[in-house]
Every structure is written in structure tokens, then in C-alpha cells.
Amino acid sequence: MDTRAGRYFRWLLFWQQQGRCCYCGEHVLLTYRPYDAARPYAATLEHLHRRADGGTGHPSNLAMACKRCNDTRGERDWLSYTSWRRDEF
């Protein structure tokens, strides 16, 4: 989501989450350059409830995740994915 609103929310969530991914807790890289956006730790906007499951683009449904987590989450719900990411299973 590289719209103006998307950039704004990434910036906002970056500060709210103290620069850490909402899943793995690693520091993310807030960047606007396409080259950096392909890195595993690039900040991405995540929909907690997947849009395929009826989740909206409302701020309450958005979180910041690193690209690696975002890419590998697949169809898991965000809570179980967080636990799995943090080795809590």
C-alpha cells in the first residue's frame, strides 16, 4: 500500500510500536525506497484481520510488520501467527 495514507500509517505505527514488528518483535526498517522495501526487515502495513476475511483498512485493523512476517503469515490468524513467530508454541 504505497498511497499517501499508507505511508502515513506506516510512519505512525512505526512510532507506536517503537520500530518493532508486531509479530516477531524485531526492529524494522522504515523506508520509502523500492530497493529497501524488498529487504526482509522492511516495514509493511499489515491487516490484522485479513481483507479476504472481511478485514477493513480502518486504523484499528492495521499494524506494522516486517516484510518477512507479512510474506509468510499466509492464511493464519494474527494471534496464532504471533505466538508461532515468537516460539510460544
* Residues that bind Zn ion in the complex, under the rule CB under 5 A: 21, 23-24, 66, 69
Q: CB 62 → Zn ion: shortest distance, Å?
A: 15
Residue nearest to Zn ion (CB): 21
What's 31-77 look like in SS3?
A: CCCHHHHCCCCEEEEEECCCHHHCCCCCHHHEEEEEHHHHHHHCCCC
Q: CB 86 → Zn ion: shortest distance, Å?
A: 10
Q: CB 60 → Zn ion: shortest distance, Å?
A: 20
